[in-house]
C-alpha cells in the first residue's frame, strides 16, 4: 500500500481491553497538518469527542497527532474529561507539540471508567516505536468487534505533482452515520488549508459514511478525521479540488463499504440504489429506510427475493411516492414492476442472492432526478449472538 | 370471557394459506354498530385498508360486519382492489346488509395475488356458522407468525347499566405503530355515536398500539377497528366518557402488550418508562428510540445490564436532554445515576434480567412533566430464523 509521506505510526497493548491485542495507537505527522473532523450527532457524546472538537477549534484546524484507544469508549464516565485531557497532555509533552494539536478518539464499552495511567504509562514506548511502517498495526489496534482491518489508499496527480491519500477505519456494530460514524482516520500528504479541507471532508462524508449503516444505532464516539500535512510538497490549487475530492470520496466510500461488509454477523454487503426520487434527500431517506429494515435485512440473509418488504420499508421513509410507479430489481433481476409482482425465475434468483454482494435497486419511474446509493449488510443470527453477550 | 351482546363470529379454512389452520373469519353485529378505525401510516397501503377507510366514510361510521383473512395481505397486487370489493360484496349479499357496512382486513404475505373465489366460495358456510361462541376461533384464524391468540375483555358499569368490551388482535413482526398497527378488533355493546367513538379509539390507540413495537417496521395492512352496537341497551352519556375510555385504553394496552410479548422470537416483554422529559411527545420519542435499538434489545436477550446502550439509544431520539441528569433503572435497580455508572450487584441483577418481564426506567431528574410508557420485546436469534425464511 502506498502511504502518504511524512506520517509515522505506532501501536501497543496498554491493558485497556482483555486479551492482549494492541489497544492504544498513535499517528504523528512530522509537520503541522491541516485537520478536519466530522463527529457523531448523538446527544450523548464521549469525552474524547468533545475534546477533539475543542482541540480542532483551539488550534484553528491544525494537528500533529491522533491518539486513539480501543476497548473503552471513555463515555458516560465520571473521570472521562480528565482522562482524555491527561492522555493528550502526556502525548503532547512526549512529542514536544502543543496539546491542542493532539486529537483524541476512543472506542469500546460505554460507562466503564478508563484508567488514565494505562495510557500515560504506555505512551513513552509508543512514541519510541513511531515508524512509517506501522500503518497496518495501527489499523488493527483500533478494532473492536471487527473481524478484519479496514484500509484504503489512493494516489492523485494534481497540478503540482502526485499526492497520496490513505485511510483506516473501524466499526461493525452501533453503526448508522448521521454526521459521521465510527472511527476513521484519513491522511494525505497534499498541502491543503484547514478551511477547504473541512469542506471536502464534509462533502466526501456525505457520500460515504453518511450512506452506510449496520444496525441503525449511532454510536456516542463516532469520529472521522482528515489530516493533510503537505509532505508531498504539492499544494492543492482550486482547479485540483474536484479531482482530489473525487479521490477522497472514492476512498472513503471504500472504507464505508468495508465497514458494512464486516457488519456484526454480516454475511453479505448490500448496496441499495434509489432512483427517480424528487430530491437527493428523499432518495437518501428511502435508501436508509430500506437499509434499516430488519425484515429486508433478514430476507437478504435468507436469500429470499421478498420485494414486498422492500416496498413496505420504502413506504415508511416518510417520503411521498406512488407505489404504482415503482420497479424493484434484486441482483439486476426485476422482481416488481409498476408496484406489482414481475415474473422471474425464483430458483435462479435465490442462487444469485446467495452471493456475497447483493444489490437492491428501487426505481420510481417518471419521477425526479433524486438518486442515492447506500450500503448496509444482512442481519443474521450471529449479530444477536455477538450483541447478547458483548459487555460481559 | 364475558363478551359483548349482539355479536356473532365464524371462521373457516378457505385455502388462502398453506396448512389448514382457519384463515378466513367474519364478525357480524346483529344491529348496525357505530364504527371507527385507525390505520397504517405507511405510504404503501393494502387494498383492504383503502376499502375499509372508504366504507367507514361512505357509511358515516356505521358497520355490520368485519371480514378478515390471514395468509395474504392483498397488498401490491394487480387485482387487490377488485378482490377486496368482491369479498365485501359477497359478504354483504349473504348477510343482507349494505356493502359499505362490511369492513375488510387482510394480513399475510405482500405482493402475491389473492384469489377472490377462495373467499366467495367459503363465505356461505362462514355465514351459516355464525355464532356468539366463536370469538376464540376467530381470534385464532387471524394469526400469522403469532404463537398464541391475543384477547382481552372488560365490563364497565356506566350510568345506564353495565356494558362489555372485548378485543382480539394479532401481530408478531413488521410491528411499529404509527397511527395504528397490525390487526385489532374491539367490540362493545355500549351505545355510542360514531363521532365520539372515533375520538375515543384515537385516544386509546395513542396510549396502547402507538406505544408498542417489535421490530420498528410498520406494516402495509395495519388496522384497528372498534364497533359499538348498543346491544346492552345502555347509552354512553358524556359523564361516562372518561370511565369508558379508561376501560377501553386499558383493554387495548393489554392487547398491545400481548403483541409485544409474542413478538417474533421474543423471550421477554420489555416495558420502558420515561419520566422527566419536556413534553409527552419527547418522552414517547425517547422511549421509542430505546425500544427500537437492536443493541438494547439484544442486551436484554442476553440479560446484560448494559445501560450504556440505553443512553446511546436515548441520545439518538432527536430530543435535547442533559445526560448528566439521567438515571437509568433496570428491574428496579439503579444502574446509572446522573449519567454515570451506579454501583449494583451484577450477578443479582443478571438473574433478575432473566425474568420474562423486564422494565427499563429512564428518568431525567429535575426535568419536565413529560412521561410515557412503551412496550417492546427482546431481539433473539429466533427472530432471524423466522424472518430469513418466512416467504418461501
**DSSP letters spanning B269-338:** EEEEEEEEESSHHHHHHHHHHHHH-HHHHHHHHTT---HHHHHHHHHTSS----GGGEEEEETTEEEEET
- B294 shares contact with chain A (CB less than 8 Å): yes
Q: Taking Cα atoms as reference points, which of B103, B126, B102 lies closest to residue B14? A: B126
Q: Give the nearest partner residue to A339 out of B76, B218, B314, using CB atoms.
A: B76
Instruction: Name the closest residue on chain B to residue A387, using Cα atoms.
Output: B298
Nearest-angstrom CA–CA distance, B328 and B364:
9
CA geometry: angle at B323 spanning B319 and B328, to 5°? 100
Q: Taking Cα atoms as reference points, which of A25, A186, A11 lies closest to residue A107? A: A25
Do the beta carbons of residue A4 and residue A165 sit within 8 Å? yes
* Cβ contact A44–B315 (<8 Å): yes
Predicted local distance difference test score (pLDDT) of residue B128: 97
Do the beta carbons of residue B210 and residue B179 sit within 8 Å? yes
The C-alpha of A246 sits at a distance from chain B's nearest C-alpha, in angstroms, of 31
* Count of other CB atoms within 10 angstroms of residue A355: 12
The confidence band for B181, taking pLDDT boundaries of 50, 70 and 90, is very low
Predicted local distance difference test score (pLDDT) of residue A208: 80
Q: Taking Cα atoms as reference points, which of A279, A163, A169 lies closest to residue A214? A: A169
* Angstrom distances, CA of residue B248 to CA of A324, B229, B255, B284: 38, 15, 11, 20
CA geometry: angle at B25 spanning B22 and B26, to 5°? 160
Domains in chain B: ranges and CATH = 7-261 (3.60.70.12), 269-387 (3.10.20.340)
pTM of the shown model: 0.77
- A390 shares contact with chain B (CB less than 8 Å): yes
What lies within 8 Å, CB to CB, of A25 at 6+ separation is A9, A10, A11, A12, A67, A68, A69, A126, A137, A138, A141, A142
Long-range contacts formed by B197-201: CB under 8 A, 24+ apart: B197/B34, B197/B35, B197/B36, B197/B61, B197/B226, B197/B228, B198/B36, B198/B61, B200/B36, B200/B226, B200/B241, B200/B244, B200/B245, B200/B248, B201/B36, B201/B37, B201/B38, B201/B226, B201/B248
When pLDDT is averaged across residues B130-145 and rounded to a whole number, the result is 92
Instruction: Name the closest residue on chain B to residue A221, using Cα atoms.
Output: B312
End-to-end CA distance of chain B: 37
Nearest-angstrom CA–CA distance, B290 and B295:
9
The CA-based diameter of chain A, rounded to the nearest angstrom, is 68
When pLDDT is averaged across residues B30-34 and rounded to a whole number, the result is 93
Do the beta carbons of residue A73 and residue A244 sit within 8 Å? no
End-to-end CA distance of chain A: 37
- At A330, is the secondary structure helix, strand, or coil? strand
**Residue B181 catalytic?**
yes
Q: Which residue shows C-alpha cell 371462521?
A: B11
Predicted local distance difference test score (pLDDT) of residue B177: 45
Q: Which of residues 158-177 of B touch A (CB under 8 A)?
A: 173-174
When pLDDT is averaged across residues B56-70 and rounded to a whole number, the result is 94
Residue A28, by phi and psi: left (phi above 0), alpha (psi -120 to 50) or beta? beta
* Cβ contact A220–B379 (<8 Å): no
Do the beta carbons of residue B277 and residue B364 sit within 8 Å? yes
Instruction: Name the closest residue on chain A to residue B302, using Cα atoms.
Output: A388
Nearest-angstrom CA–CA distance, A314 and A320:
10
- At B29, is the secondary structure helix, strand, or coil? strand
The residue annotated as part of the active site, out of A12, A100, A181, A271, is: A181
Q: Which residue shows C-alpha cell 408478531?
A: B172
Q: Give the nearest partner residue to A294 out of B75, B217, B312, using CB atoms.
A: B217
Task: Cell numbers for B362, please give them.
Answer: 429512564
Is the pLDDT confidence value at B212 over 80? no
When scoring B112, B179, B306 by the number of chain A Cβ atoms within 10 A, the one with the most, hence best to mutate, is B306
* Cβ contact A215–B381 (<8 Å): no
Instruction: Name the closest residue on chain B to residue A109, using Cα atoms.
Output: B308
* Cβ contact B388–A302 (<8 Å): yes
Predicted local distance difference test score (pLDDT) of residue A305: 92
Is the pLDDT confidence value at B196 over 50? yes
- Backbone φ and ψ for B2, nearest 5 degrees, come out as -85, 120
Do the beta carbons of residue A376 and residue B112 sit within 8 Å? no
Q: Determine what percent of chain A falls in helix, strand and coil, rounding each to the nearest 5.
A: 35, 30, 35
Predicted local distance difference test score (pLDDT) of residue A174: 64
Predicted local distance difference test score (pLDDT) of residue A177: 45
Do the beta carbons of residue B10 and residue B22 sit within 8 Å? no
Residues of chain A neighbouring B389 (CB-CB closer than 8 A): 302, 304
* Cβ contact B43–A314 (<8 Å): yes
- Here the ipTM equals 0.72
What lies within 8 Å, CB to CB, of A164 at 6+ separation is A2, A3, A4, A5, A153, A154, A155, A156, A188, A189, A232
* Angstrom distances, CA of residue B63 to CA of B39, B107, B126, B203: 16, 20, 18, 21
Do the beta carbons of residue B312 and residue A222 sit within 8 Å? no
The residue annotated as part of the active site, out of B40, B169, B181, B182, is: B181
Between these two residues, B175 and B342, which has the higher pLDDT value?
B342
* Cβ contact B336–A385 (<8 Å): no
List, run by run, the mean pLDDT of 10-residue segments along chain A (392 residues). Answer: 92 94 95 88 86 95 94 90 97 97 90 94 97 94 86 88 88 55 79 89 82 72 83 90 89 85 88 95 93 90 91 89 94 94 93 95 94 92 80 49
Percent of chain B residues past pLDDT 90, beyond the cut: 54
CA geometry: angle at B333 spanning B330 and B336, to 5°? 75
Task: Cell numbers for A278, please give them.
Answer: 424528487
What lies within 8 Å, CB to CB, of A355 at 6+ separation is A268, A331
Predicted local distance difference test score (pLDDT) of residue B148: 85
Between these two residues, A215 and B275, which has the higher pLDDT value?
B275
Give B290-324 pLDDT, tens digit per residue: 998 888 999 999 999 989 889 988 988 889 999 99
Nearest-angstrom CA–CA distance, B243 and B256:
20
Nearest-angstrom CA–CA distance, A57 and A70:
25
Q: Which residue shows C-alpha cell 422492500?
A: A310
* Angstrom distances, CA of residue A35 to CA of A106, A250, A254, B116, B262: 18, 19, 21, 65, 51
Task: Give, as one character, the DSSP assignment of residue B210.
Answer: G
Residues of chain B neighbouring A317 (CB-CB closer than 8 A): 43
Predicted local distance difference test score (pLDDT) of residue A48: 93
* Cβ contact A295–B323 (<8 Å): no
Nearest-angstrom CA–CA distance, B104 and B87:
8
- Backbone φ and ψ for A187, nearest 5 degrees, come out as -125, 140
Amino acid at each position: 500500500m502506498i502511504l502518504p509521506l511524512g506520517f509515522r505510526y505506532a501501536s501497543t497493548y496498554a491493558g485497556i481491553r482483555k486479551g492482549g491485542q494492541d489497544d492504544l495507537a498513535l499517528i504523528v505527522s512530522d509537520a503541522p497538518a491541516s485537520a478536519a473532523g466530522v463527529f457523531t450527532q448523538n446527544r450523548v457524546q464521549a469525552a474524547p469527542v468533545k475534546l477533539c472538537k475543542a482541540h480542532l477549534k483551539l488550534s484553528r484546524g491544525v494537528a500533529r497527532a491522533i491518539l486513539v484507544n480501543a476497548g473503552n469508549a471513555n463515555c458516560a464516565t465520571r473521570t472521562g474529561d480528565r482522562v482524555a485531557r491527561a492522555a493528550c497532555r502526556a502525548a503532547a509533552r512526549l512529542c514536544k507539540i502543543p496539546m491542542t494539536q493532539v486529537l483524541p478518539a476512543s472506542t469500546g464499552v460505554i460507562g466503564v471508567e478508563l484508567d488514565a495511567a494505562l495510557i500515560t504509562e504506555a505512551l513513552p514506548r509508543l512514541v519510541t516505536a513511531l515508524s512509517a511502517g506501522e500503518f497496518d498495526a495501527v489499523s488493527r489496534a483500533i478494532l473492536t468487534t471487527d473481524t478484519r482491518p479496514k484500509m484504503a489508499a489512493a494516489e492523485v496527480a494534481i497540478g503540482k505533482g502526485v499526492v497520496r491519500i490513505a485511510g483506516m477505519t473501524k466499526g461493525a456494530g452501533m453503526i448508522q452515520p448521521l454526521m459521521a460514524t465510527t472511527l476513521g482516520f484519513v491522511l494525505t500528504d497534499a498541502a491543503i488549508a484547514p478551511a477547504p479541507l473541512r469542506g471536502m471532508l464534509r462533502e466526501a462524508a456525505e457520500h460515504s459514511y453518511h450512506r452506510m449503516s449496520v444496525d441503525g444505532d449511532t454510536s456516542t464516539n463516532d469520529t472521522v478525521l482528515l489530516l493533510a500535512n503537505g509532505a508531498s510538497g504539492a499544494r492543492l490549487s482550486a482547479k485540483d479540488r474536484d479531482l482530489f475530492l473525487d479521490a477522497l470520496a472514492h476512498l472513503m466510500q471504500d472504507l464505508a463499504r468495508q465497514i458494512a461488509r464486516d457488519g456484526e454477523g454480516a454475511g453479505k454487503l448490500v448496496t441499495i440504489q434509489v432512483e427517480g426520487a424528487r430530491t437527493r434527500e428523499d432518495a437518501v431517506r428511502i435508501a436508509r429506510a430500506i437499509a434499516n429494515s430488519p425484515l429486508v435485512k433478514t430476507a437478504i440473509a435468507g436469500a429470499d427475493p421478498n420485494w414486498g418488504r422492500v416496498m413496505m420499508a420504502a413506504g415508511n421513509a416518510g417520503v411521498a411516492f406512488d407505489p404504482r410507479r415503482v420497479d424493484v430489481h434484486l441482483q439486476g433481476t426485476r422482481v416488481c414492476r409498476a408496484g406489482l409482482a414481475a415474473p422471474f425465475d425464483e430458483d435462479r434468483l435465490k442462487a444469485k442472492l446467495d452471493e456475497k454482494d447483493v444489490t437492491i435497486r428501487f426505481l420510481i419511474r417518471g419521477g425526479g432526478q433524486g438518486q442515492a446509493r447506500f450500503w448496509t449488510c444482512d442481519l443474521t443470527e450471529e449479530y444477536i449472538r455477538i450483541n447478547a453477550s458483548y459487555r460481559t
